[in-house]
Structure 1
Amino acid sequence: MKTTYFFVATLLLVGCSSSKKSVENETAKSDFTLAFGSCNRIDLPNLLWDDILNTEPDVWVWGGDNIYADTDDMAALRAMYNKQKEQTGYKKLAETTDILGTWDDHDYGLNDGGVEFEAKDTSQQEFLNFMNVPENSPLRKRKGVYNAKKYDVGNHSINIIILDTRYFRTQLTPDTETKKRIKPNEYGEGTLLGQVQWQWLQNELNTSKSDFNIIVSSIQYLSDEHGFEAWGNFPHEVDKFATIIAKSKAKGVVILSGDRHISEFSKREIAGMDYPLIDFTSSGLTHAYKGFTGEPNKYRIGEVVFTESFGILEFDFTAKKVDFKIVGDNGIVLEKLEQVYE
């Protein structure tokens, strides 16, 4: 048995149109394919569902802002969810692919909203309806939309852990000193996940025997300098999360995030972990921050993609490898990252 550990990471940037490749032209078939995305409006063209279908994913994961409702009117919220469910491309995907996901503020119902949103319980039920969760599911009685599902692939498995960064999240601190919207809370002040969800997450990681553990967070974990919503606004919980992951010895932990209307890879070495932690941000599906001119992110690997895109993760259990890809319209791979966990 091997007693030493190492990682290999390779970033492949697509720099010119002649070298761009579509996903369908890359013939190697992965053992398991996860596709995910966020920031999807029903009043804008949904251009990427055919490209997502072409990747033949084993699971599609919503990363939040799955619709833009910003309302406590549940009839209006339901109508928007139903319209998305009838969108031709998405409907085809839902008929053939397992669907998981979380919410973010715009489908939660309140922009930058958290624990104070009075309609959160009824909004949660509408979200679960959208996700086709059975009426008798225990998730219907849970406070918050966090959950997990394990996928067995032969003798291997992938555990997908869905977090809720809305239901329990306490007050943010407005930044009145700079042009940024939000600044970090004082260390120890407030919570993002809440006590019960923290205990659940720790148990999920401590008991997982899976080859990979994919954690879905609607907001970015590693990038924390931009002044918008991020884990970095609760610095004590950033540290708590890192400690829990390291102590759990869970294999292949990866974070998937959305929210930002940009896509990027971030990577950080964490004490006690035998591999680097990657935060793969994919946003948005129907609209992007096309006026993006740059922002600091000390953990960024490669360049920011600021056109409409989605993300895919292709798992190779034999090589203990994940190929991370940012994919645009017509299946063009805009950027990719290879990570070996061994």
Structure 2
Amino acid sequence: MKNTGIRRFSILLFCVLVFQTLCAQKEDSGAFKILFGSCNRTELPNPFWDQMAATQADVFIWGGDAIYADTRNMRKMKRMYNAQKNIPEYKAFAESIPVMGTWDDHDYGLNDAGAEYDQKQKSQQLFLDFIGMPSDAETRQTEGVYASKDFSVSGKTIKIIVLDTRYFRSSLKRAIDPEKRYAPSTDTTNTMLGKEQWAWLENELSEAADFTVIMSSIQFLSNEHGFETWGNFPHEVARFERLLEKSNAKAVILLSGDRHIAEFSKKELPGLEYPLIDFTSSGLTHTYISFDGEPNAHRVGEVVTRKNYGLIAIDLSTNEVDFKIMGENNQVMQALTQDY
């Protein structure tokens, strides 16, 4: 009688575990998860690597400032990259998930730097070493760190594009307003991406994909704060928007970092059947804690000023996308859902 009771309990427990497993599989099936983050000082604690690893996401994207080198000394820069790579929590995380990414000014080499930075070719190779770009990759042979990768899941394609907003970028126009650092330029010869990268981006967007996620590093939609933004080159913003409309690319999502804050921005474009969302997540180890407000006509929700990373879950069966600004201890600090 005792053995029978044990067997019944064992069978019941087995059924419960199987049911839970099936439910978990059902919940996760058809979902593609993207993690991203920016603004990471190697000398400061990063509370997120183990937490992000537990999400079992499909890819992690660096949004820039993986280190704070700010130097023309490539030996110093290499030491900083090696220090970051050898942080035990990051090393384990990077070995468990595909890593992509772009740079921003501090891992590019100098604060707010663009095409004028004289060590950019050497810096490029160090950055590509850091994110594990194969030695025979095309990006190794071209200027800049822009790249793309297609992921095929449940019969659908997710294209991830990382742009380089540093290597080719023209000089910025200093603002007259003392409350702002930069002002929009009227010089239409100025460029954000450069001729070759623009042509490459047009070709990438012409390729069929069910979702296209573009990492820009600097913000695209928020353009009133007077710091670095695509809005400093209004003609390049217009060109990007025209390209999206012309390409008929499905479900394009923008990601950005740089600002030491996190926020969602959204804009309706006449030629798109969906709103353009710019999800800003920054920073991983330090943030703009003295932030006291700034205008953003496209903002949805509130600005987050605590340490954060971005989590995107694409439901490939419904085309619904969940955007989450994640904080410590798995706290969802802000969320947004969009149907595509």
Tell me, yes or no, whether TM beats 0.5: yes
Distance 1:327 1:230 in 2: 23
Per the alignment, residue 105 of structure 2 pairs with 105
* Residues 321-340 of structure 1: pairs in structure 2 closer than 5 A: 321-340=320-339
Per the alignment, residue 203 of structure 1 pairs with 203
* Residues 37-52 of structure 1: pairs in structure 2 closer than 5 A: 37-52=37-52
Tell me which amino acid in the other structure corresponds to 2:100: L
Distance 2:175 2:134 in 1: 42
170-179 vs 57-66, greater mean Cα deviation = 170-179
Per the alignment, residue 5 of structure 1 pairs with none
SS of the residue corresponding to residue 241 of structure 1 reads helix
1 or 2 for the larger relative contact order (CA 8 Å, sep ≥6)?
1
Unaligned 5+ runs, structure 1: 1-24
SS of the residue corresponding to residue 124 of structure 1 reads helix
1:291 aligns with 2:290: yes
Per the alignment, residue 220 of structure 1 pairs with 219
Unaligned 5+ runs, structure 2: 1-23
Report the alpha carbon displacement of residue 157 of structure 1 after superposing the two structures with TM: 1.1
Higher helix share: 2
Per the alignment, residue 233 of structure 1 pairs with 232
Distance 1:58 1:93 in 2: 12
Report the alpha carbon displacement of residue 187 of structure 1 after superposing the two structures with TM: 4.9
Q: Structure 1 segments of 4 or more deviating over 2 A?
A: 27-30
SS of the residue corresponding to residue 92 of structure 1 reads helix
Per the alignment, residue 78 of structure 2 pairs with 78
Report the alpha carbon displacement of residue 47 of structure 1 after superposing the two structures with TM: 1.1
Per the alignment, residue 184 of structure 1 pairs with 184
Given that 1:104 and 1:259 are in contact with CA atoms closer than 8 Å, whether structure 2 keeps it comes out as: yes
Given that 1:187 and 1:235 are in contact with CA atoms closer than 8 Å, whether structure 2 keeps it comes out as: no
Distance 2:267 2:169 in 1: 24
Tell me which amino acid in the other structure corresponds to 1:281: T
Per the alignment, residue 20 of structure 2 pairs with none
Which is greater in Rg? 2
Given that 1:189 and 1:234 are in contact with CA atoms closer than 8 Å, whether structure 2 keeps it comes out as: no
SS of the residue corresponding to residue 72 of structure 1 reads coil
* Residues 44-63 of structure 1: pairs in structure 2 closer than 5 A: 44-63=44-63
Report the alpha carbon displacement of residue 132 of structure 1 after superposing the two structures with TM: 1.2
Report the alpha carbon displacement of residue 154 of structure 1 after superposing the two structures with TM: 2.5
Tell me which amino acid in the other structure corresponds to 2:211: F
TM-score (norm 1): 0.90
SS of the residue corresponding to residue 94 of structure 1 reads helix
Report the alpha carbon displacement of residue 232 of structure 1 after superposing the two structures with TM: 0.1
Determine what percentage of the aligned residue pairs are the same residue: 52
**Count of residues in Structure 1 that have an aligned counterpart in Structure 2:** 315
RMSD: 1.2
Given that 2:260 and 2:288 are in contact with CA atoms closer than 8 Å, whether structure 1 keeps it comes out as: yes
* Residues 99-178 of structure 1: pairs in structure 2 closer than 5 A: 99-178=99-178
Distance 2:177 2:220 in 1: 24
Distance 2:51 2:296 in 1: 29
Tell me which amino acid in the other structure corresponds to 2:122: T
1:320 aligns with 2:322: no
1:249 aligns with 2:248: yes
Report the alpha carbon displacement of residue 189 of structure 1 after superposing the two structures with TM: 4.1
Distance 2:70 2:280 in 1: 22
